[in-house]
Structure 1
Amino acid sequence: MLDESDFERDDVAAPIDMLESYVAAHGWSYERQDEEIIVEVKGSWTQYELRALWREEDSVLQFLAFPDIRVPDDRRAALYEAIGLVNEQLWIGHFELWSSSGILLYRHAALVDGAEEGTLSLAAAELLIESAIDECERFYPVFQFVLWGGKTPREAIAAALIETQGEA
């Protein structure tokens, strides 16, 4: 968690501005174009591309996280089942598979109607980004077990969500 003093901006700002401040404070590589930001983040399993798009007319911030997973045609049925089981575990956001490209992603949309209309707080920016990364990290093994480990979706969930004690 970053200290708010790490930020150059106030504790609320336009959504993409606040996300840009948060990303810059982490030293992550990013590109900004008007009302969109694209970020590269290294996770413990893979590299993630994060994208946020602000739709001012709807006050909606669309947030996408792309783990580096492409699904071959012959594994899509099993992965769709795994996605359904994984999504049952989520409180916000969901995983989906883009049928045209076979790309797996995590998606979350947030209605942004803060105290100052059309602004995002530092806490909300942190929650949006960190929860997406956390969910991708938590479920990455499930998708790998289904795609490359020869496990059924139920076996993959059981194997990936085992609670561990301590660290190696």
Structure 2
Amino acid sequence: MSLIEMDAVPAPAAPIDMLEHVFDTNGWAFERSGDEEISTSVVGSWAAYELRALWREEDRVLQLIARAELQAPDELRSAAYEALGLINEQLWMGHFELWSADGTIIFRHATLLDAAEGQASPDLTLGQAEVLVDAAVEEFDRFFPVFQLVLFADTAPAAAMVAALLETVGEA
């Protein structure tokens, strides 16, 4: 999903505007709530992910949240938290968490944006927007099997990590 190959790379823009450009160029239907929020749905390798971006102008923070239909029931919350800890150790950007209200597993990443000198508000570049979106989808795809094994196959989190992240070599 690289837009860099396009003939005309857009100039940096307000964070939600740039994400709208990325979503639109990829053909993803999106819903926008003013200059503060935008959401879309992206089909990954394992599931459809809802992506929601929230812009806080006063803090100059752009937060991207990815969510799948993946919930940890009360009796598996302990195992889910253990899996989250093991997974988060592997991440360079963002983190997974479990919403306490309903057990939904989400990926969250926040980016602090600073305005250029003489500029009133910060802009987001096309490259930054792509990195944020790609990281959310790729990390969820990478670790979705771990969550499936822990939540649906009664696999211990450490064993699920080994099984899900095993890379095969060659062809069968």
TM-score by length of 1: 0.94
Which residue number corresponds to residue 83 of structure 1? 84
Change in CA separation of 1:166 and 1:55 when aligned onto 2, cut-off 3 Å = farther
Rounded to whole Å, the distance in 2 between the matches of 1:12 and 1:75 is 44
Unaligned runs of 5+ in 1: none
Which residue number corresponds to residue 136 of structure 2? 132
Rounded to whole Å, the distance in 1 between the matches of 2:63 and 2:166 is 31
Deviations 1:39-60 (A, max 9, x none): 1111111110000000011110
Rounded to whole Å, the distance in 2 between the matches of 1:167 and 1:125 is 35
Change in CA separation of 1:137 and 1:166 when aligned onto 2, cut-off 3 Å = farther
Alignment of 1:5-154 (within 5 A): 5=7, 10-34=10-34, 35-115=36-116, 117-154=121-158
Change in CA separation of 1:18 and 1:164 when aligned onto 2, cut-off 3 Å = same
TM-score by length of 2: 0.91
Q: CA deviation at 1:5?
A: 3.1
Query: In 2, are the aligned partners of 1:114 and 1:120 still within 8 Å (CA)?
Result: no
Which residue number corresponds to residue 161 of structure 2? 157
Q: CA deviation at 1:81?
A: 0.3
Rounded to whole Å, the distance in 1 between the matches of 2:141 and 2:8 is 25
Unaligned runs of 5+ in 2: none
Rounded to whole Å, the distance in 1 between the matches of 2:11 and 2:85 is 37
Q: Give identity over the alignment, percent.
A: 53
Report the secondary structure of 1:99's partner residue: coil
The amino acid that maps onto 2:16 is I
The amino acid that maps onto 1:75 is L
